A and B are shown apart, each in its own frame.
Chain A
């Protein structure tokens, strides 16, 4: 785990460092556009900044400076574009991104597992066919497109006034009240549906396949033969086993959901880390982008670990050496 983290941090740093030039080059270009370039004082200013941030040092020294500050002081550096502490800028937004990811995960499972059970117990029925079709389309639709389509329907059919975002304008910055909670709920379903559709579709497919396999096994027959209620046979004998492979696939679902949360955040203009990450990339704000990459990968690593523990707890047959 620790070696993986070290490698992750190195990759993050290299990827962020790789673009030609540095953040000051983009600042330089900005100044040139404004016509402030050419004066010696501007050049000196830039050079001084470069010295201050140690941008002239070789890459490995920069890396060690960056990572040791993170590890020992919890300092992720300064954001250039926003002229703020990276953690101060990213903290809340990253928290919101992760909350959105996790609540989507919960939503996905709540929706997909019952549908999967239905499809597996009534295979090749009209309902099963319908869900399969919706699932295929859901898997084929990129997140950003789904966000656009939902926004379009909100505008043209339901005439929703404030589209996108997490709060209506009048509640932004307001104190928490029931009105604000209701407002948040009426907004948050859009990103949750957008992020979750693809994963829901794949969970349904996996659940359906697993449960159909399990329902063909002998212990199910035994359960029925001894006169258990059909619902009990399916839930306690079938689903109990069929759900294990789903847990082991959590490690694949989380990255997808997080990716979705980033894209959806950008399209819907949510106050999540997505839009900031995009700005950071286009303006070569390396500490900001690097911090996001590093933290999201760490989050996924933790998620994987928790999923493994959960699986070992759920399925006593699994033993880790």
Chain B
């Protein structure tokens, strides 16, 4: 008799309470609603989308081909965009022609603007020809000064290549390497983390010792040593995959630990117990119940891990152990600024660094926002 009462009471209570408005929304809607309130996270998210869109459209946005060399304008400083000339105000912005002259005393080429020649900047201008992902050929660029008239809004490097174009195309490598590395290390991390947390015991012990062994080394030196393993004769796309593997190999441990922690906390929850009582196999519990319930947390962990991979790649490439030409990345671009001579004379070579900071900041803010939103049922 008392037994019946005990089981029925909660049901009555639940019926008596008005059903909460949140009950009818999906979890993902709740996460989104919560995320929207996190302004920094939202802005970070927009910047991330913008950055990926920019590097996806790379060749179209870049005013020049990535390896086009303009020998006459080596180490040219960023060109100024003008609206006002001697003739008055122009609605269409323009740049002046640049004239280079060798300074006899210092041996350095100095560039001056030639106000006699104006080059108006047109939208959708024709310029260097490029192949868009091997799909079609085009010479249409978002902006430019017409064929044969180079425009260097962020200056040029030591071969006279346009920095803006190289930053956009280099960003493609820097940003995708983060995604690739996080996908690979997340796969490893999820498998090992879930197994470690779910089964415990000896397997857990072995996996944890493995992770500790990787963490026993300082990260940058071990990354450097592993990248040095890649054969120097490899073409650049293989090196790219190699660097992804190296980054993931060093990075999966941290992800596995976090996923293990989440698994441990979810393993004891009622719905897992219910599945087990129903006689579900381990694999079903793992893949139908555990992993899906952790999905939002895994996305957060992944987002917060991407900056580390971007920074890792940039450091490796900067030191000459990462991406190799003809590919380029922000880190590799910065390696041109490594000596004091370049730093003092050509400070615009540091601009790729700004891109790294912006990308990493955006991912960090996005990750923070997602983390706060990932658990929409908590009251915090």
Contacts and interface: CB of A to CB of B under 8 A. Distances in A.
Interface of A: 4, 7-8, 11-12, 15-16, 18-20, 136-137, 139-145, 148-149, 151-152, 155-156, 163-164, 255-256, 258-260, 262-263, 266-267, 277-278, 281-282, 284, 289, 292-293, 296-297, 300-301
A259 B216 CA distance: 12
B213 A142 contact: no
B216 A8 contact: yes
B229 A136 contact: no
Interface of A is mostly: helix
Interface in B330-380: 331, 334, 337-338, 340, 343-344, 347, 350, 353, 356-357, 360-361, 364-365
A271 to B, nearest CB: 17
B353 A149 contact: yes
Interface string B209-247: 000110111111110111011010000000000000000
Interface of B is mostly: helix
A11 B343 contact: no
Interface residues of B, number: 40
B221 A293 contact: yes
B65 interface: no
A4 B212 contact: yes
Nearest to B354: A145
Contacts of A4: 212-213, 216
B315 A143 contact: yes
Contacts of B337: 148
A136 B225 contact: no
A52 to B, nearest CB: 24
Contacts of A140: 307, 356-357, 360-361, 364
Interface stretch (B146-154, B185-193, B290-298, B318-326): B318-326
Given A19-B229, A263-B315, A300-B216, 20 more contacts: A12-B217, A136-B364, A140-B364, A142-B353, A143-B315, A145-B353, A148-B350, A149-B350, A152-B344, A152-B350, A156-B344, A255-B219, A256-B219, A259-B220, A278-B224, A281-B225, A292-B221, A293-B217, A296-B218, A296-B221
A163 B340 CA distance: 8
B229 A263 contact: no
A293 B228 CA distance: 13
B225 A289 contact: yes
B318 A144 contact: yes
B311 interface: yes
Nearest to B217: A297
Given A15-B226, A292-B221, A297 B216 contact: yes
B113 to A, nearest CB: 22
A11 B229 CA distance: 13
14 contacts: A11-B217, A16-B225, A19-B231, A137-B357, A141-B356, A142-B314, A142-B353, A142-B356, A148-B334, A155-B343, A259-B221, A282-B320, A293-B217, A300-B218
Most buried by A among B215, B216, B338, B364: B216
Contacts of A262: 218, 220-221, 224
A277 B221 CA distance: 8
Contact of B338 (A15, A148, A292): A148
Most buried by A among B215, B356, B357: B357
A7 B224 contact: no
Given A7-B213, A262-B218, A281-B321, A155 B340 contact: yes
A288 to B, nearest CB: 12
Contacts of B218: 255-256, 258-259, 262, 296-297, 300
Given A148-B338, A148-B350, A259-B219, A15 B344 contact: no
Contacts of A259: 218-221
Contacts of A151: 340, 343
A300 B220 CA distance: 14
A152 B353 contact: no
Contact of B319 (A20, A258, A260, A263): A263
Given A15-B229, A149-B353, A293 B222 contact: yes
Given A140-B360, A278-B319, A156 B220 contact: no
A148 B221 contact: no
B220 A263 contact: yes
Nearest to B338: A267
A4 B218 CA distance: 15
Contact of A145 (B215, B334, B365): B334
Contacts of A260: 220
Contacts of B364: 136, 139-140
Contacts of A145: 314, 334, 350, 353, 356-357
Contact of A19 (B222, B228, B334, B365): B228
A149 B350 CA distance: 8
Contact of A148 (B216, B353, B361): B353
Nearest to A155: B344
Contacts of B229: 15, 18-19
Most buried by B among A139, A140, A255, A278: A140
